[in-house]
Structure 1
């Protein structure tokens, strides 16, 4: 088995509220490096760790993480809707391997995913159905959230199980670093919002469009400085990337839920996808981070990063 990892931040504001052309050029260059890395590695399977933004997972049942044997995308924020090309046999094998290693894993035979999954597949592979994939949802927004050590344990177990597949496996993380976008919370929500967060009532096209416009406006307000959102934190973001680059994954075990939100914002827990992906790679042997890009991008309300890594 040969393994590699790519981390790619996503943002629903890409193409809708973009930064200056020189910033976009730097992002495109970093993404181009990642795409060339993937072409060279030529993965036979992609294990995609990504969050959800109340499009597929709701408080009626909210697992800390969940692996899909089948998945379809809702098509939010301009991403494509439809089925992902899930490698069901590989997904079932990984699921059993994780359970055999003592990690309690939720399984979905029909997972609904949103732009957190679709965007990296479209950006890096040209579509949501171009590469065999095993989608793994990692909760990064719905409290209460479990300890980060359990996410590292999940990634380790999946990496060990993937090593038994005898394939070229790419572990792909999708998530912003520090960011605090306007995501609804259950505590104190009005009854209509609370019901939607619990029951998962699908929005009408009009409701989805209004919600997306609110996010776009939030990005514009953030750039203008008229917002109460927690600021992007490059120091915290680069500390995370340093730990990943040096293989210091046990350092994350001491990171608390409260401190992560205070330093990185309410959605900073999307970095759990990065920790899981790098833990999976580390489980297959020593690795080297071969490229690293980071930039704070207020227009996208995110600390934005792109990394590549492969086994030594």
Structure 2
């Protein structure tokens, strides 16, 4: 088995509330490097770790992570909608092997996913149906959240299981880094909002449009400095990237849920997708980071990063 990893931030505000042209140019160059890395690696299977933003997973049942044997995208924020090209046979094989390794993995035969899954597939592969994929949801926003050590264990188990498939596998982490967008919280929510977060009733097109406009406006307010959101934290973001580059992943086990939220913002836990992806790669042997890009982009409410890594 040959494996590689890519970590890629996402933001629903890309193309809707963009930074200065020179910042966009730097992002575009970093993304182009990642696209070329993926093209040269030519994966025949992508294990995609991504979060959800209350489009597919709700408090009625909220697993810490879940592997899909089938998945459909809702098309939020202008992202693609429709079925992902899930490799069901490989997904089932991975699920069985991961359970054999003592990880209490939830499985979904009909997972609903949003831009967190779709954006990396569009950016790196030009669509959601261009490459066989195994989607893995990693909760990064709905409390309570478990320790980072369990995310590492998940990534390690999937990586070692994937090593038995005799495939060229790309482990792809989508999310983060530090950011604090206006995501609703169950605690203290008014009854109507709480009911939606628990039951997961799909919004009407009008409700979805209003919600998306609120996020776009929040990005504009954040870039203008008129907001109470937790600031982007380049120091914290680069500490994570340093650990991933060094391959000293157990160092992350000391990162508590509370400390991560205080330093990375309410959605900073999306870095769990990166931790899972790099843990999967580490499980297949030593690795080296091939490229690394980071920029704080207030317009996107994101510490935005792109990184690639390959086996030594």
TM-score, normalising length from structure 1? 1.00
Equivalent positions of 1:168-247 (< 5 A) are 168-247=168-247
Q: Residue 13 of structure 1: SS of its match in structure 2?
A: coil
Q: Which residue of 2 aligns with 1:71?
A: 71
Give, in whole Å, the separation in 2 of the partners of 1:93 and 1:9. Answer: 28
Structure 1 match to 2:22? 22
Q: Distance in 2 between matches of 1:203 and 1:37?
A: 38
Query: 1:299 is matched with which residue?
Result: 299
After TM superposition, give the deviation of residue 176 of structure 1 in Å. Answer: 1.6
Any residues of structure 2 matched to 1:1-312 within 5 Å, and which?
1-312=1-312
Distance (whole Å) between structure 2 residues aligned to residue 106 and residue 175 of structure 1: 21
CA RMSD of aligned residues (A): 0.3
TM-score by structure 2 length? 1.00
The whole-number CA distance in structure 2 between the counterparts of 1:31 and 1:264 is 23
CA-CA distance at 1:105 after TM superposition: 0.1
| C-alpha separation in 2, matches of 1:154 and 1:75 | 28
What is the SS of the residue equivalent to 1:3? strand
Alpha-carbon distance in 2 for matches of 1:41, 1:81: 27
Question: What stretches of structure 1 of length at least 5 have no aligned partner?
Answer: none
Q: Structure 1 CA distance, aligned partners of 2:234 and 2:144?
A: 26
Please give the per-residue CA displacement for 1:49-76, whole angstroms capped at 9, x wherever unaligned: 0000000000000000000000000000
User: What are structure 2's unaligned runs of at least 5 residues?
Assistant: none
Structure 1 CA distance for aligned equivalents of residues 97 and 21 of structure 2? 45
Moved over 3 A (4+): none
Deviation at 1:6, TM superposition (A): 0.3
Q: 1:81 offset after TM fit, Å?
A: 0.4
Q: Secondary structure at the match of 2:232?
A: coil
Distance in structure 2 (CA, Å) of the matches to 1:65 and 1:90: 18
- State the distance in 1 between where 2:68 and 2:164 align: 19
For 1:81 and 1:40, the matched residues in 2 are separated by 27
Aligned length: 312
Per-residue CA distance 1:166-215 (angstroms, 9 max, x = gap): 00000000002000000000000000000000000100000000000000
Aligned mates of 2:144, 2:18 — CA distance in 1 = 32
- Partners of 2:130 and 2:252 in 1: how far apart? 33
Structure 1 Cα separation of the partners of residues 263 and 65 of structure 2:
23
Whole-angstrom distance in 1 between the partners of 2:9 and 2:263? 18
CA distance, structure 1, for counterparts of residue 32 and residue 232 of structure 2: 24
C-alpha distance in 1 between matches for 2:128 and 2:192: 32
> What is the distance in 2 between the residues matched to 1:311 and 1:127?
26
CA deviation map 1:247-285 (0-9, x unaligned): 010011110000000011000000000000000000000
Could you tell me how far apart the structure 1 residues matched to 2:196 and 2:87 are?
31
Q: Alignment partner of 2:63: what SS?
A: coil
3-state SS, counterpart of residue 292 of structure 2? strand
